[in-house]
A and B are shown apart, each in its own frame.
Chain A
Amino acid sequence: DAGVTQSPTHLIKTRGQQVTLRCSPKSGHDTVSWYQQALGQGPQFIFQYYEEEERQRGNFPDRFSGHQFPNYSSELNVNALLLGDSALYLCASSLDSPSYEQYFGPGTRLTVT
């Protein structure tokens, strides 16, 4: 049974560029949440997708957007990258709500220079 997978593993971008991160949820899961984790901090909730709709959103600017596909996989897009966007981006999947038990992928380490 495949767990949550994310791609790419690492990414280096320049300020002002755009980036797309990808996530495939655990088999059977229909809800995908994205988190940003800065070094030494806890994961910060970005948004959650269910049935191809953004259901919840954290305190992140509109530069952060996402999408969920019919097969439940998801993308996170970040436009106009800032140095402060450098972080580990985690995708987590769960079975609908309340999503207190979430299965996390290994993350994508984004470095903005």
Chain B
Amino acid sequence: GQSLEQPSEVTAVEGAIVQINCTYQTSGFYGLSWYQQHDGGAPTFLSYNALDGLEETGRFSSFLSRSDSYGYLLLQELQMKDSASYFCAVMGGTDKLIFGTGTRLQVFP
């Protein structure tokens, strides 16, 4: 089967840096994606890692270690609008996108 683990909640203050970890177990692996979802909104694609290493997109970076079945999303210069749920998602060998249970990020002023 496939499973993903993420912390349920993370809190931080504006301007800080926060890291959201994700560990996964999957049969077959294409890569790890990250999605952001604001309350009442649709998930929005943030990043994708197919190979080991760090991918940077503006204030957001994502990291993958395939040997450790581990990845993280790094959010820098936090803003109030970054308060949302963040999901890691694995593209397994069956081309199905499997989502984790999500991490709720709360940013305080």
Contact = CB atoms under 8 A, between A and B. Distances in A.
A104 B42 contact: yes
A7 to B, nearest CB: 14
A65 interface: no
Interface string A27-43: 00000010100001111
Interface in A97-113: 97-107
Nearest to B32: A100
Contacts of A41: 101-102
A101 B43 contact: no
Interface residues on B, range: 20 to 34
Contact of B33 (A33, A55, A101): A101
B30 A104 contact: no
B60 interface: no
Contacts of A100: 30-31, 33, 48, 50, 89, 91, 97
Contacts of B43: 43, 90, 92, 104
A102 B45 contact: yes
A42 B35 CA distance: 10
Interface in A65-113: 90, 92, 97-107
Interface in A41-58: 41-45, 48, 55-56, 58
A43 B50 CA distance: 21
Contacts of B95: 48, 55-56, 97-99
Nearest to B31: A100
Nearest to A96: B95
B94 interface: yes
Nearest to B47: A101
Contacts of B44: 104
Among all A-B residue pairs, the 5 with the closest Cβ atoms? A42-B99, A104-B42, A100-B91, A104-B43, A97-B95
Interface of A: 4, 33, 35, 40-45, 48, 55-56, 58, 90, 92, 97-107
Given A44-B99, A45-B99, A90-B43, 4 more contacts: A4-B42, A99-B91, A100-B48, A100-B89
